[in-house]
Every structure is written in structure tokens, then in C-alpha cells.
Structure 1
């Protein structure tokens, strides 16, 4: 990771030049270190998913399956767990897109409720990971135009 190879005094400038929030990258590094320690303790091999991002997204879904929102016919997202009407936060790279399902890490309420920390998921994955949850929430897997 390039960030780790720069001196402590240059990190703020590097983050600014690469449009990265320094607090977030430090948090990501801490999480990575924690995961590495867990893998070592459990004698698991440490490897990257490389370009197979579906594996990573499925892994996130396994732990966060209650944090899914579904796009409805009226083009609104509704969280599956609390049935809350939400929007994709304007700062998200998914803003302006309308994937059928999104996985989120937080709901932020200002004048409206916004989802942040998003990634797209496939509905079938949710059915694989938490079939009872899907059934209890009446999830619809048919996309609409």
C-alpha cells in the first residue's frame, strides 16, 4: 500500500493529492491489521481477492445482511429491516445510479435519510446468505424497467 511507504510528515499532503480522507485510510489500515491478526490466530492463509470483487461483496453481505435496501417501482429505496425510505447519499459513487439492491454501512439523517458506505449486491446473494431473512421481508427479485 503506497500510503504506508510515505513518511509520517507527508501523509496529509499525499491524502489531499489523492482525494482520500486520512482518517478513513487510517481506519481501513487498522481493520486490515485486525483481520490479518485474526487470520494468523486461526491459521488461515492471507490472500487478496484480486479482481474478484464479488467475493468481497458477498463476504460483506454475510456480516451485514440486515443492511440492505431495495429499489422500488417509485424509484425509492426502502431498507429491508426497518422499511425506512432512504436515498443514496450525494457523496456516494453510486449517486445517480439505481441498482436494484444496495448494501450500506450507515443511515444518516439530515433533512432526508441517506445511505452511506454503499456497494451493490445481487439479490440472489441475499437469498444464499440469509434465506429466512429474505422470506420474512418479502424481498422481490424481479427487476423492473
Structure 2
């Protein structure tokens, strides 16, 4: 799904305390991918989502890696938890019914989107400053 409704739906799920499965943020495409159980195709027809199913593939980074260009994991794939499709659908419907017109929406960047640090709380790898690499 598009990142804007996806991040808002993710925030709604987090505030209700619902278990959330893996969620991947694709920054270049401004897309969010939720892992849900298979077999729910018919319940998504009236929402702006695209289901990946048999034969689909998705490139994902190492779970604790975040990248400024690519994005990364908002919820890590650390167990068998999947997002409840009905809860996700409800969160998306709430967004869809309360969202202002596109022209009125403020421009924002989600605070929980991995930009330069992982969402897991792990420290990002450090690299030497360019000046430290130069030798005279």
C-alpha cells in the first residue's frame, strides 16, 4: 500500500495494542508492506492495496539493517506473528473515511520510518569520517 495510509494504519494498530507482524518500508516507491495470512484476497477489493501472492517476490534487507535510500523494517520479522487482516482493514478504512482531500494534506515524513537508524533500537554501523580516510 502507499506509505501515507500504511503508516497511519500502523500507528492505529500500535495504539490499540494489536500484534503486528513484519512491516517493510520501501522508501523509493513510498510503499509499505504488511505480512498477513494468505487467503484474504476478497476482503481487500475496495481498498487501495495490492496483494502479493504465489509467484510474487519482494526484496527485503537484513532485519536489523536500515538504509537511508531503501528504507527498512518498521516491524521486524522475529517470530510467527502476522498482522490480523481484519484489524488492518479496519485501520485502513478509518484512514480512508477521515482523510482530508489530497490538496489539504500536510507534507510529512513518518517518525517511525527507518531513515538512517534501524527501528530495532540497535546502533547503526559506524563509518569513519571522510577526513579520517585521507592521508597526506
Q: TM-score, normalised by structure 1?
A: 0.21
The structure with the greater share of residues assigned to strand is 1
Indicate the structure whose relative CO is greater, using CA pairs within 8 Å and at least 6 residues apart: 2
Q: TM-score, normalised by structure 2?
A: 0.22
The structure with the greater share of residues assigned to helix is 1
